[in-house]
Structure 1
Amino acid sequence: MNALSKNSYAGNGQHTTSYYAASANPAPERPPLTGQVTADICVVGAGYSGLSTALHLAEKGHKVVIVEGARVGWGASGRNGGQIVNGLNASLQTIKKRYGQDTATFVAGMVQEGGQIIRERIATYDIKCDLKETNVFVGLTAAHMRELEERRALWASYGIKNQEMLDRNQLRKHVNSDLYAGGLIDYSGGHMHPLNLALGEAAAFESLGGVIYEMSPVIHVNTDAAQPVIKTATGQVTCKTLVLCGNAYLGGVVPTLSKRVMPVSTQVMATEPLGEELARSLIPGQGCVEDIRYILDYYRMSADNRLLFGGGTVYGGADPRDIEAKLRRNLDKVFPQLKSKRVDYAWSGNFALSFSRVPQMGRIGANTYFAQGYSGHGVTGSHTYGRILSEAINGDLSRFDVFAGLPWYPFPGGRALRVPYSVVGSWWYALRDKLGA
Structure 2
Amino acid sequence: MLNDPRSHGLWEKTAAPAPETSPLAGDLAADVVVVGGGYTGLSAALHLAEEGARVVLLEANEIGFGGAGRNVGLINAGMWVMPDDVPGVLGPVYGERLLDVLGNAPQLVMALIEKHSIACELERNGTLHCAVGPDGLKEIEDRARQWGARGAPVTVLDGAETARRVGSSTYVGSLLDMRAGTLQPLCYARGLADAAIRAGAELHTGSRITSTERNGARWVVKSASGSVSADWIVVSTDAYSTGPWEMVRREQVHLPYFNLATVPLGENLCRSILPGREGAWDTKEILSSFRMDQTGRLVFGSVGSLRNTGAAVHKGWARRSLARLFPQIGDVQFECEWYGKIGMTDNALPRFHRFAPNVVGFSGYNGRGIAPGTVFGKTLAAHILGRVAEADLPLPLTDPRDASFRAIKEMWYEAGAQIAHLADARF
CA deviation after TM superposition for structure 1 residue 140, in Å: 1.1
* Residues 227 and 202 of structure 1: CA distance in aligned 2, closer, same or farther (over 3 Å): same
Question: Contact 1:300 / 1:309 at 8 angstroms: preserved in 2?
Answer: yes
Aligned-partner Cα distance in 1 for 2:84–2:401: 18
Residues 114-171 of structure 1 show CA distances to partners (whole Å, capped at 9, x for unaligned) of 21111111111111111112111101101111111111111111222x1111111111
Partner SS, residue 254 of structure 1: helix
Q: Which amino acid aligns with 1:125?
A: H
Q: Name the counterpart of 1:185.
A: 176
> Is 1:248 matched with 2:233?
no
Q: Name the counterpart of 1:4.
A: none
- Corresponding residue to 1:114 among 91, 101, 105: 105
Aligned-partner Cα distance in 1 for 2:400–2:417: 21
* Residues 88 and 108 of structure 1: CA distance in aligned 2, closer, same or farther (over 3 Å): same
* Residues 330 and 227 of structure 1: CA distance in aligned 2, closer, same or farther (over 3 Å): farther
Partner SS, residue 253 of structure 1: helix
Q: Name the counterpart of 1:304.
A: 295
Q: Name the counterpart of 1:392.
A: 383
> Is 1:86 matched with 2:100?
no
> Is 1:155 matched with 2:181?
no
Q: Which amino acid aligns with 1:140?
A: V
> Is 1:220 matched with 2:227?
no
CA deviation after TM superposition for structure 1 residue 300, in Å: 0.8
Partner SS, residue 180 of structure 2: strand
Q: Name the counterpart of 1:370.
A: 361
Question: Contact 1:173 / 1:285 at 8 angstroms: preserved in 2?
Answer: no
Q: Which amino acid aligns with 2:200?
A: G
CA deviation after TM superposition for structure 1 residue 403, in Å: 1.1
Q: Which moved more, 1:322-331 or 1:195-204?
A: 322-331
* Residues 422 and 411 of structure 1: CA distance in aligned 2, closer, same or farther (over 3 Å): farther
> Is 1:264 matched with 2:264?
no
Partner SS, residue 87 of structure 1: coil
Partner SS, residue 135 of structure 2: helix
Q: Which amino acid aligns with 2:287?
A: L
Question: Contact 1:271 / 1:344 at 8 angstroms: preserved in 2?
Answer: yes
Question: Contact 2:163 / 2:171 at 8 angstroms: preserved in 1?
Answer: no
Residues 289-348 of structure 1 show CA distances to partners (whole Å, capped at 9, x for unaligned) of 111222211111111000011111459x99944453353333333223334131000001
- Corresponding residue to 1:105 among 96, 108, 114: 96
Partner SS, residue 395 of structure 2: helix
> Is 1:351 matched with 2:342?
yes
Aligned-partner Cα distance in 1 for 2:165–2:89: 35
Q: Which moved more, 1:416-425 or 1:397-406?
A: 416-425
- Corresponding residue to 1:142 among 123, 129, 134: 134
* Residues 318 and 101 of structure 1: CA distance in aligned 2, closer, same or farther (over 3 Å): farther
Q: Which amino acid aligns with 1:391?
A: A
* Residues 412 and 137 of structure 1: CA distance in aligned 2, closer, same or farther (over 3 Å): same
Question: Contact 1:224 / 1:365 at 8 angstroms: preserved in 2?
Answer: no
CA deviation after TM superposition for structure 1 residue 365, in Å: 1.3
Question: Contact 1:15 / 1:71 at 8 angstroms: preserved in 2?
Answer: no
Instruction: Report sequence identity in percent.
Output: 28
Aligned-partner Cα distance in 1 for 2:87–2:328: 43
Q: Name the counterpart of 1:282.
A: 273
Question: Contact 1:33 / 1:236 at 8 angstroms: preserved in 2?
Answer: yes
Q: Which amino acid aligns with 2:141?
A: E
Task: Number of aligned residue pairs: give it.
Answer: 419
Aligned-partner Cα distance in 1 for 2:320–2:214: 48
CA deviation after TM superposition for structure 1 residue 233, in Å: 1.7
TM-score, structure 2 as length reference: 0.90
Partner SS, residue 18 of structure 1: helix
Q: Name the counterpart of 1:63.
A: 54
* Residues 297 and 14 of structure 1: CA distance in aligned 2, closer, same or farther (over 3 Å): closer
Gaps of 5+ in 1: 1-9
Q: Which amino acid aligns with 1:20?
A: W
* Residues 17 and 386 of structure 1: CA distance in aligned 2, closer, same or farther (over 3 Å): closer
